[in-house]
Amino acid sequence: MARTLCEWKKSEIVDDIEELAEIVRDPRYVCRKCARAAHKDKHLCKPMALPHDPSREHDEHQHVETAD
């Protein structure tokens, strides 16, 4: 099982910033213990779903990246 964000050391935050950015992108869960947020509940020790905001979902679908 992967470690939770609560278990990351300060040096890991700096060394693995790209992985951290992916984990916390579009957070859907928050930890009831330490208030960290993540996209998937498996990254938190005591996850709780954040309230669903349909307006954010609409904004995400409008953003389309194009290749130059």
pLDDT in tens, 45-57: 999 999 987 666 6
pLDDT at 58 over 90: no
Query: Residue 48 and residue 38: Cα distance in Å, rounded?
Result: 10
pTM for the complete prediction? Answer: 0.70
Query: Residue 68 and residue 57: Cα distance in Å, rounded?
Result: 26
List Cβ<8 Å contacts ≥24 apart for 26-33: 26/60, 31/4, 31/5, 31/6, 33/6
Query: Residue 38 and residue 44: Cα distance in Å, rounded?
Result: 7
